[in-house]
Structure 1
Amino acid sequence: MYAMQYEITLPAAYDMGLVRERVATRGHLLDAFAGLGVKAYLMRERGVAGSPVNQYAPFYLWTTPQGMNSFLWGAGFQGIVRDFGRPPVQHWTGVAYEEGGAAGRPARTAVRRRTPIAEGAELPALMAGAVAETARLAATEGAVLAAAAVDPRGWELMTFSLWDHDVPEAPGDRYQVLHLSEPERELLVRGRHW
């Protein structure tokens, strides 16, 4: 599994209805994309649920690097570049993935938490903790799914979860889920990824 996200921060006065319309008219285009486990079309609105910004921030869980590359070098990402400029693309290698008890219900909220990994941290113990935290999040009432991944270039641990309600019990940045594409979700390997 490979996790990926880009964040497009928009002006404070930006009409976020335009983002909703974009997703409503284009979101289905990745509903059958090869190599894509899950794409959560995410949005934050300034002043809503504690967000300091207006932001469009899609989040991806890829089943293959080929799928990720096909998207980045293909027409899908070029539409983002054309409309918003080329954003930096964050990506992390998978540590763990779990389906939640609410897996069959629509996702309404996403939570992403990024934690720096300290110099000298005991990596095996830290990764075991991330696997346990992923399982704990997935077992929490209302969880649709949970994942953990690491950026080894910048040494950052990232956890991501989807929820069927608006106020999940998970720390991190909260996003509204506008649409969920999940063509190969069943191919995402559950549990530990090494």
Structure 2
Amino acid sequence: MYAMQYEITLPADYDMGIIRRRVETTGRRMDDFDGLGLKAFLVQDQANGAIANQYSPFYLWNEPEAMGRFLWGGGFFTAICQSFGRPNVRHWTGVETLRGPEVDQPAVAATKHAWQLPAEVDPAEPVGEALETLRQRAAMPGVHSSAIAVDPTRWEIVHFTLWSGEPEIVPGTRYQVLHLSTPGIKDLLDR
């Protein structure tokens, strides 16, 4: 599994309705993308109390080839580049993904918490601790699914959780989910 995200920060006066309509009309194109576990179409909206207006989709890929096909195979990421310029794409090697008690309910919110490991720290212990946190988080009421991944270039751990309602008080950035494509979620969660 591979995690991926790009963040498109938009001006304070940007009409976020444009992003909402874009996702409403084109989001379903990802509903059957081969090799994709899930794509959460995420936004932060200043009108809803966020610090910035941002479109920040988050992906969990079952196959790295599918991630490549999305990014440089034409048609998908190309549309993002044409509309907003080419954003930096962050990606992390997956550690584990777990289903939550609400996995069969629509996801309406997400949280992402990322932190870097100090240079002198062996990653085994903090990744093990992150896995224990993942198990605890996945058992919480309202959790759709939750994942841990690591960027070994920056030694950064990311913990991503989808929620069926208002998220519990957990660290990290909060997002609204506009659409959730889940073509390979069974493979993603049944590893």
Mapped pair 1:64 → 2:58? no
Superposition pairs of residues 45-194 of structure 1, within 5 angstroms:
45-46=45-46, 48-49=48-49, 51-74=50-73, 75-189=75-189
Compute the TM-score of the two structures, normalised by the length of structure 2. Answer: 0.96
TM-score if structure 1 supplies the norm length? 0.95
Task: List runs of 5+ in structure 2 lacking aligned partners.
Answer: none
Decide whether the 8 Å contact of 2:99 with 2:189 is kept in 1: no
Other-structure match for 2:29: 29
| Cα displacement (A) at 1:169 | 2.8
Q: Is the 8 A contact 1:95 1:130 kept in 2?
A: no
**Which one-letter code corresponds to 1:53 in the other structure?**
A
Alpha-carbon distance in 2 for matches of 1:168, 1:59: 19
Query: Which of 123-132 and 70-79 deviates more?
Result: 123-132
- Residue identity over aligned pairs, in percent, reads 45
Q: Which amino acid in the other structure matches residue 62 of structure 2?
A: T
State the SS of the aligned residue for 1:167.
coil
Q: CA deviation at 1:188?
A: 1.0
The runs of at least 4 aligned residues of structure 1 exceeding 3 Å deviation read none
Residue pair 1:95, 1:147 contacting (<8 A) in 2 also: yes
Q: Which amino acid aligns with 2:83?
A: D
**Separation of aligned partners in 2, 1:102 and 1:38:** 16
Give the residue type in structure 2 aligned to 1:132.
E
Letter in 1 for 2:57: P
Distance in 2 (CA, whole Å) between partners of 1:32 and 1:185 is 11
For residues 184 and 95 of structure 1, the distance between their equivalents in structure 2, rounded to whole angstroms, comes to: 17
Aligned partners of 1:168, 1:34: CA distance in 2, in Å? 32
Superposed CA deviations along residues 71-119 of structure 1, whole A, max 9, x for unmatched, are: 0012100000000000000000011110000000000100001111111
5+ residue gaps in structure 1? none
Distance 1:120 1:83 in 2: 42
Q: Aligned-pair RMSD on alpha carbons?
A: 1.2
Deviation string 1:148-191 (CA, Å, 9 cap, x unpaired) is 00111111110000001123232110000000000011111557
- Provide, for residues 108-161 of structure 1, a one-character-per-residue CA deviation record: whole Å limited to 9, x for no partner: 100001111111213111111111111111100000000000111111110000
SS of 1:66's equivalent in the other structure is helix
Is the counterpart of residue 18 in structure 1 residue 39 in structure 2?
A: no
Number of matched pairs: 190
